[in-house]
């Protein structure tokens, strides 16, 4: 498995794995498949210009995982935020999630960040367990999902310094 940082011209790979993630695990994301299927090439390219993104590729070049890192508006400048963390069901429990988080951690450290944060939807025990084992701490900071106000998510933070 290779973890590769995507560039703007890799937009189709990112689009394909992101849409697969939304198709297979819609309940764990803040967005929806219907919404993101409507995005044009220009939107996908803009996403790659505004968020560092890594994809896990198998030996055949098929994307098996995805993660992004942004400076979230309203968050401290010293925080980097994880978005769209996902691993394909057939590739789970093989260290891909760890490797994707390691890519974010290394990039955040190189960028001078003090923390990395993310939100985990209630009931997404696999993601919650992974990030807690990776050193993220539950904050008890919660909010309702915009796409489904009957669901909530919690913020977790990893201290880098």
pLDDT score for 124: 87
Q: Are 114 and 78 in contact (CB under 8 A)?
A: yes
The confidence band for 103, taking pLDDT boundaries of 50, 70 and 90, is very high
pLDDT in tens, 57-72: 999 999 999 999 999 8
**Structural domains of the chain in order of their starting residue, each with its CATH number:** 2-159 (3.40.630.30)
* H or E element that contains 144: strand 137-144
25-34, 37-46, 128-137: lowest mean pLDDT where? 25-34
Q: Is 151 exposed, middle or buried (0-12, 13-18, 19+ CB in 10 A)?
A: middle
Other Cβ atoms closer than 10 A to 8:
13
Structure tokens at 76: 């401290």
pLDDT score for 75: 87
The mean pLDDT value of the chain amounts to 94
């Amino acid at each position: 498995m290779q973890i590769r940082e995507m560039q703007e011209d890799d937009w189709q790979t990112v689009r394909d794995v992101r849409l697969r993630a939304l198709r297979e695990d819609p309940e764990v994301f803040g967005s929806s498949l219907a919404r993101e299927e409507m995005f044009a090439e220009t939107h996908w390219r803009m996403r790659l210009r505004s968020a560092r993104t890594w994809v896990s590729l198998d030996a055949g070049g098929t994307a098996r995982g995805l993660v992004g890192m942004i400076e979230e508006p309203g968050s401290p400048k010293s925080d980097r935020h994880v978005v769209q963390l996902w691993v394909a069901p057939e590739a789970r429990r093989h260290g891909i999630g760890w490797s994707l988080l390691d890519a974010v951690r290394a990039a955040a450290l190189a960028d001078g960040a003090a923390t990395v944060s993310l939100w985990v939807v209630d009931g997404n025990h696999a993601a919650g367990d992974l990030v807690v084992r990776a050193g993220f701490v539950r904050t008890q900071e919660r909010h309702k999902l915009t796409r489904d106000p009957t669901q909530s998510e919690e913020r977790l933070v990893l201290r880098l310094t």
